Structure 1
């Protein structure tokens, strides 16, 4: 019989708030939490069609009242910070500190812990939010993810028109399947005793954009090629597509300043019990997205 005098150990969370739930990664996290029977709530900026078994609170992550409402009865939070402004993170972090849930924060492998300032605005804002979470004594689990494979969906419209993908030629990265990142996120969200600290999530190989396009070509059985664009031309095209100017400038800065990394880790396998999948397999699994 169990010893009733022994203190009970920590229980895994039964309710999780997912920010960014409408995005490629957020949807995967929500699906996995639901499969585990977890009560899921999303914080969304605009009302969206309801998803079975998912509560939603409409509000902005920078609005303390909306964050406070979303946190009621919540044990854990999967946090994706969507802005290039880290100053506006102070208010929601204060709400998190007051509610004291388990926090799993999605960050980036581009962070250089030895640098006083990061190479570009995207890496800098992630570093700033990590610091804020630690200073609030939230003891976050930080998942520093490399480039998500799902970013390649941004090439779909070009591939429906022809066999050339044009864009910024960023440094080679260990592209990681968003499904693996979601598995890792859920593993730490629901763990009895998560390993607090930093986990670096990468795919199994470092790829250039040209190599990613080649893998897509193999999956689609087409001869595709990547065409690198000068920064000025890439900027004008992204602005014409309706991307916000601060984001465009941050992407340009990242393409120019971010150093190439050949780092590949086994952290996904440590967290999930299986190796990270390849971009080539991701392309096969998602070929229909490009037709």
Structure 2
């Protein structure tokens, strides 16, 4: 039976495609624009939009397992109902480590999780912590000035490589024994913002400087850039708290990637090397 991937052409989805193909699994990709998907040969392409559930009916035919991204929380109940009616047996939901937080949950993760839980299908929630890939948003300033300006340079996070997230998702889609389980996880190291900037510089073989931004001014700029105020306030408070009270590595979270994939989790230094071209 086939695995259907929603969000298959995105930053995460493309990596899940590679993991599943490497494992010899039949993969079907749902995308709004099949003509520009650029996916490997052997992947079935179907046009559809999670925000318009009626458009995904054809993609659900003969599907046994499904990966669901929280792209359209408002239609998640209908999407899941269609999946069940089509014969889907297992659903893996991409969520986030802070999904239970009011500010973060409002972004829709909980709505999609709850729809899967009420469906009667086998469900698994994958809740990664901070993506190392968030650093790509700073690539323009690193390229232009070899500089990162951000508040809370001493904030500690445990970034996870997107390829490890993809491997965890693939494992829960392919193997049995994950029904009814929520996997909350992170990368293998607790690093300050300044340390992460240093590792990006090391990957480039050049110094990348860090400048502490004023939190008040930074908040205003983030909101001008389009981030919702509720999210900015939540994010800045998380950073401020971790800068005041740095936490050690969450070993329980760090153990998930090795346990599910059978190999060590990738470090932030490896992530920086993998993405050096984006910063160069």
**Same structural fold, with TM-score higher than 0.5 when normalized by the shorter chain:** yes
Alignment match, 1:77 = 66
User: In structure 2, the residue corresponding to 1:203 is in which secondary structure?
Assistant: coil
Deviation at 1:252, TM superposition (A): 0.9
Q: For 1:142, which of 125, 136, 158 is the aligned residue?
A: 125
Alignment match, 1:34 = 21
- Structure 1 CA distance for aligned equivalents of residues 151 and 78 of structure 2: 34
Alignment match, 2:99 = 111
Q: Does residue 252 of the first structure (1) align with residue 232 of the second (2)?
A: yes
Alpha-carbon distance change, 287 to 71 in structure 1, aligned in 2, over 3 angstroms: same
Q: Does residue 120 of the first structure (1) align with residue 103 of the second (2)?
A: yes
Alpha carbon RMSD of aligned pairs, Å? 2.5
Alignment match, 1:230 = 215
Alignment match, 1:284 = 273
Alpha-carbon distance change, 229 to 220 in structure 1, aligned in 2, over 3 angstroms: farther
Alpha-carbon distance change, 98 to 173 in structure 1, aligned in 2, over 3 angstroms: farther
TM-score (norm 2): 0.84
Deviation at 1:272, TM superposition (A): 0.8
- Structure 1 CA distance for aligned equivalents of residues 186 and 96 of structure 2: 10
Tell me which protein shows more helix as a share of its residues. 2
- Structure 1 CA distance for aligned equivalents of residues 37 and 170 of structure 2: 24
Alignment match, 1:115 = none
Alignment match, 1:272 = 261
Q: Which moved more, 1:144-153 or 1:261-270?
A: 261-270
Unpaired runs of at least 5, structure 2 = none
Unpaired runs of at least 5, structure 1 = 1-13, 113-117
Task: Report if aligned partners of 1:57, 1:66 keep a CA contact under 8 Å in 2.
Answer: no
Alpha-carbon distance change, 127 to 165 in structure 1, aligned in 2, over 3 angstroms: same
User: In structure 1, the residue corresponding to 2:108 is in which secondary structure?
Assistant: helix
Alignment match, 2:113 = 130
Q: For 1:178, which of 138, 142, 162 is the aligned residue?
A: 162
Alpha-carbon distance change, 44 to 159 in structure 1, aligned in 2, over 3 angstroms: same
